[in-house]
Amino acid sequence: MNVYLVGGAVRDKLLNLPVKDRDWVVVGATPDELLQQGYQAVGKDFPVFLHPQTHEEYALARTERKTKAGYTGFECHFGQDVTLEQDLSRRDLTINAMAEAGDGTLVDPYGGRQDLEKRTLRHVSQAFVEDPLRVLRVARFLARYHHLGFTVAAETQSLMHTIAVSGELQHLTPERIWVETEKALLEPSPWRYFEVLRECGALAEIFPELDALFGVPQPEQHHPEIDTGLHVMMTLQSATGLLSHSGSTSETDCTPAFNAEQRVAILFSLLCHDLGKGLTAPDQLPSHPGHEDISEHLSKKVCARWRAPNPVKRLSSLVARYHTHSHRAFELKPSTVMRLLEALDYFRRPETLSLFLTACEADAKGRTGLQDRHYHQADYLRDCAQAASNVQAQALVNLGFKGETLGIELRKRRIDAIRDMKHSYVRP
């Protein structure tokens, strides 16, 4: 049998990028032969085995035949007669359809290396249209490689449109859509994922609430870019920049380091924060009165449809409803600031404030010409929160407060602490 390194490992090696995972294809072997050599079978729909020492995945060369709708509607054939070229032909993009032999020889029957050099994402064959998941995958790959100058080939974009209008996307499970979207949000250019989906018509099928924002005007005074959909894409760009610098030691950077789950929550909350503007009555445009509550409702609807994790659901709702509170922080009464902190559950989950303020800062900076301005509201609200949290329940207990009276007095004194902060705060 012959063993080849395939897929992403070959692609990223040629791009001089770190290789995270290595996958292998085995040509000319049977399952029994691999089992006899100590490999462990793990594949359900087709034969995949784990190497006895490295535990990397080794798959028998196979072909696929479309048998029904959806991305799982394939019948697989594997056997000693399946060639490497046949196995590679079933892959989505030419840059993913390359293999490397044991001696380092590159096997590239579909021009993947040339497309890497041209920075082009191109489908391998017309079989591309048989798998609707490939629309999302291509968009995700562009989110990953956009900063390197990659674009989607026009003919591939055309096939993506064919899939989008065919109804095949409706066969994708919510969980599968979420997995691809979550991965895209963690790529260097997540906004490109949604832009590409919109360009081929797929965004209207899987995320109509977001697609509806493009072309919806906003007041130019606050949004020089005017278009709401464009603004949302700009907030993703802004947030990506903020997150890339989070956790730095700069004295001017108050943004903490976030884990992957928190980064996804921040970015997805921005996708949802203005969804209500897509339902504003035409006679009220370009203003959007009450869009916060509608956005919160729609964010819950989208998160439920995609089975989004609870941290994503929670932050998306909070940012949708309260982002304008943050923008108007200096105008808020101390009691309103307190209600905001309570809505964020700040006194039990103080980390939520940083997530919320990062999203709000990205929203404020995601506007034409305003990308570099300092978001002083975040500094102010952090100081208010710190002042309120300095008032501890135990000190009041020591003074004899207890029960319901303790809660009332604690809240009153925290509002007083916020008021003192407001009066002493020197606004830049």
What's the whole-number mean pLDDT along residues 19-37? 91
Query: Considering the domain boundaries, does residue 222 fall inside one?
Result: yes
Question: 227 and 91, same structural domain?
Answer: no
Query: Considering the domain boundaries, does residue 165 fall inside one?
Result: no
The pLDDT tens digits for 264-308 are 999 999 999 999 999 999 999 999 999 999 999 999 999 999 999
What's the whole-number mean pLDDT along residues 217-244? 96
Question: 215 and 106, same structural domain?
Answer: no
The pLDDT value given to residue 76: 75
Of 69, 87, 111, the residue that ends a domain is 111
Of 76, 111, 146, the residue that ends a domain is 111
Label each residue of the chain as H, E or C: CEEEEECHHHHHHHCCCCCCCCEEEEECCCHHHHHHCCCEECCCCCCEEECCCCCCEEEECEEEEECCCCCCCEEEEECCCCCHHHHHHCCCEHHHCCEECCCCCEECCCCHHHHHHHCEECECCHHHHHCCHHHHHHHHHHHHHHHHCCEECHHHHHHHHHHHHHCHHHHCCHHHHHHHHHHHHCCCCHHHHHHHHHHCCCHHHHCHHHHCCCCCCCCCCCCCCCCHHHHHHHHHHHHHHHHHCCCCCCCCCCCCCCCHHHHHHHHHHHHHCCHHHHHCCHHHCCCCCCHHHHHHHHHHHHHHHCCCCHHHHHHHHHHHHHHHHHHCHHHCCHHHHHHHHHHCCCCCCCHHHHHHHHHHHHHHHCCCCCCCCCCHHHHHHHHHHHHHHCCCHHHHHHCCCCHHHHHHHHHHHHHHHHHHHHHHCCCC
- Give the Å distances, CA to CA, from 2 to 22, 298, 312: 16, 52, 45
Query: Considering the domain boundaries, does residue 94 fall inside one?
Result: yes
Phi (first) and psi of residue 223, to 5 degrees: -135, 85
Question: 223 and 95, same structural domain?
Answer: no
pTM: 0.90
Question: 221 and 346, same structural domain?
Answer: yes
**Residue 250's pLDDT band (cuts 50, 70, 90):** very low
What's the whole-number mean pLDDT along residues 150-168? 96
Window from 144-158, 180-194, 248-262 with minimum mean pLDDT:
248-262
Assess contact for 15 and 116: CB atoms under 8 A: yes
Query: Considering the domain boundaries, does residue 188 fall inside one?
Result: no
What's the whole-number mean pLDDT along residues 244-260? 66
Question: 365 and 229, same structural domain?
Answer: yes
The pLDDT value given to residue 251: 41
Domain residue limits at 342: 207-424
Mean residue pLDDT of the chain comes to 93
Of 64, 96, 111, the residue that ends a domain is 111
Question: 106 and 220, same structural domain?
Answer: no
The pLDDT tens digits for 365-387 are 999 999 999 999 999 999 999 99
Query: Considering the domain boundaries, does residue 141 fall inside one?
Result: no
Question: 212 and 104, same structural domain?
Answer: no
Query: Considering the domain boundaries, does residue 189 fall inside one?
Result: no
Question: 211 and 107, same structural domain?
Answer: no
**Residue 5's pLDDT band (cuts 50, 70, 90):** very high
What's the whole-number mean pLDDT along residues 194-206? 98
Query: Considering the domain boundaries, does residue 396 fall inside one?
Result: yes
pLDDT at residue 254 greater than cutoff 50: yes
**Rounded-to-integer distance, Cα 230 and Cα 211, Å:** 11
Question: 212 and 90, same structural domain?
Answer: no
The pLDDT tens digits for 42-88 are 877 678 899 999 999 999 998 877 666 665 656 778 888 899 999 99
CATH number at residue 46: 3.30.460.10
In the chain, the number of structural domains is 2
Question: 75 and 220, same structural domain?
Answer: no
The pLDDT value given to residue 249: 43
Query: Considering the domain boundaries, does residue 202 fall inside one?
Result: no
The token pair that represents 157 in the structure block:
């974009």
Assess contact for 78 and 46: CB atoms under 8 A: yes
The pLDDT tens digits for 338-372 are 999 999 999 999 999 999 999 999 999 999 999 99
